[in-house]
Chain A
């Protein structure tokens, strides 16, 4: 099979068994290697280069040094998008993690109809984001929406304008995201982890007279701490990448606002990047934004992994 190749390479000795195995292995993984080079490594290098240029697609890229990075510091929208993204991440992720864990603990009890409950909790997370955005835009409709109807029925007066007002647009997006996240993958992963905790640990704690809080604090949390870390790291990465929901919720109404409104209150980092690249065709600047984003994500992830030594407990370690 390899004879022609060998002849061309001038190999006189036949391949050993190990070499044959290696060649075959490389052949099998070659689709990924090609994909990795073409769709990951190449574009990363290209985007690093483009970030140093002035490029609007029509005329060829012009080298501009660090101009794009310097411009970022003066770009009001850049800082606004950082502020919005951090606001969203810092509020959404802790609630999502704690809420998913609480739901998982609930489903870990002996309840009749557990599977049906799990399915129901889960459905929002597989609802297409575009559909979810429209469902909630309708609920958050300020004058006749269901949410403000409930608020006024509870005697709390007129509800906020939700997505139509910069003061309430981010909380509204957080509520929608929580609806989609609480019963989703994060909860499934917590549930599996909870089911993996040996029952004997709780039994011996019962004998020692530990209460519910004590058991949660000293058995549950340490046992699943690697999973808490996993879910938090992935949750933060996903939250920083917030895009579709904000895009549809802010532009989907009558398409009269530019995505990120009102008053840029839902202009998240990736939305700003998208607008720069695919709306204003500032390819150079958008590439710089992409690299800064990459560095921010790496730094935040690295920080979480580094501090995790303080609270994550791995089995078989002291």
Chain B
């Protein structure tokens, strides 16, 4: 009947679109289900955790779980620690990467291209190759069980990726602006602070998002450098959550899910609010734009 009313190519297009939409929106279930299940579990009382078959909608909503997690583990402490490490790491990465990128983008000096290639090649270097001597170095500094190993290296260039991103951006800023300021007698640092940086807001925001996600989610660094539980970051605290909480052998999955959601929420918020900048950064890194 449909084919009598519509030409064949339109029927074909309608079917194609139906399939497309069903597929695209159906996939969201797969991506979202683990979150939904975690949120659902985090709102259940203990006895409902073990119902079979599992229920997605809790029979009794237990919002108190989200209050309890702050009492059964020093979650607030972990939160503050993580914010501290993240803020100072991101700050160091952005400031030092921008300075270094300014050097590469605006000055001619011997071996500049060789050094830049060397810089880019460190992108491919697995961190495992350097981690053991770096650990011994920080141990010699007396930095074990402090935040220094997590923060200070970020103040020395902030990584090849950040420098690359800033340099690519600086190259798009017209040199006439520098030249004009130079004629007015400005020195290069003044030009960097007053002209280049203010024009670089988008790339700074990009690096805030990327740097935030990396520091916030980092596990390996805190794992090898931090020992005292009060100093743990969220990722390390969460990994040890069950050890901290499960005294008496009672199930703690509802609390664990609540804590996992609390740790995830800032990442999700930062990404959703600033995704435009994040995506730009990722795309520039691949060289496809």
Q: Name A residues whose Cβ lies closer than 8 Å to a Cβ of B.
A: 18, 21-29, 31-36, 38-40, 42-44, 46-47, 50, 103, 106-107, 109, 111, 117, 119-124, 126-132, 134-136, 138-139, 144-146, 149, 152-153, 179, 183, 185, 188-189, 192-193, 196, 226-227, 230-231, 237, 240-241, 243-244, 247-248, 251-255, 270, 273-274, 277-278, 283, 286-287, 290-291, 293-294, 297, 301
Contacts and interface: CB of A to CB of B under 8 A. Distances in A.
A237 B124 CA distance: 8
A293 B129 contact: yes
Nearest to B163: A32
Contacts of A277: 131-132, 135
Contacts of B21: 111
16 contacts: A31-B156, A32-B119, A40-B125, A43-B129, A43-B133, A50-B133, A111-B20, A121-B31, A129-B217, A130-B217, A130-B236, A138-B41, A144-B49, A189-B283, A237-B126, A301-B124
B37 interface: yes
Contacts of A270: 128
A46 B288 contact: no
B87 interface: no
Contact of B103 (A27, A248, A287): A27
Given A31-B100, A36-B122, A244 B220 contact: yes
Contacts of B27: 103, 106, 121
A139 B34 contact: yes
Contact of A134 (B118, B219, B257): B257
A188 B282 contact: yes
A103 B246 CA distance: 40
A293 B126 contact: yes
A294 B219 contact: no
Interface of B: 20-21, 23-25, 27-28, 30-35, 37-38, 41, 49-54, 96, 99-100, 102-104, 106-110, 112, 115, 118-119, 122, 124-137, 153, 155-157, 163, 188, 213, 216-217, 219-220, 223-224, 234-236, 238-240, 242-243, 246, 253, 256-257, 260-261, 263-264, 267-268, 271-272, 275, 279, 282-283, 285-289
B32 to A, nearest CB: 6
A278 B37 contact: no
B234 to A, nearest CB: 7
A290 B220 contact: no
B157 A122 contact: no
Contacts of A121: 27-28, 31
Given A25-B107, A39-B130, A277-B135, 4 more contacts: A43-B134, A128-B264, A131-B264, A283-B132
Contacts of B106: 25
Contacts of A139: 34, 37
A264 B208 CA distance: 38
Contacts of B20: 106, 109, 111
B54 A146 contact: yes
B34 A25 contact: no
Contact of B257 (A25, A43, A138, A287): A138
Contact of A196 (B133, B188, B289): B289
Contact of A248 (B37, B131, B219, B257): B219
Contacts of B155: 31
Contact of B130 (A27, A28, A43, A152): A43
Interface centre among A26, A44, A230 (most CB of B within 10 A): A26
A149 B56 CA distance: 12
Interface centre among A29, A103, A283 (most CB of B within 10 A): A29
Nearest to B219: A244
B126 A241 contact: yes
Contacts of A240: 126
Nearest to B260: A131
Given A21-B108, A153-B53, A273-B128, A126 B283 contact: no
B287 A230 contact: yes
A46 B109 contact: no
B31 A254 contact: no
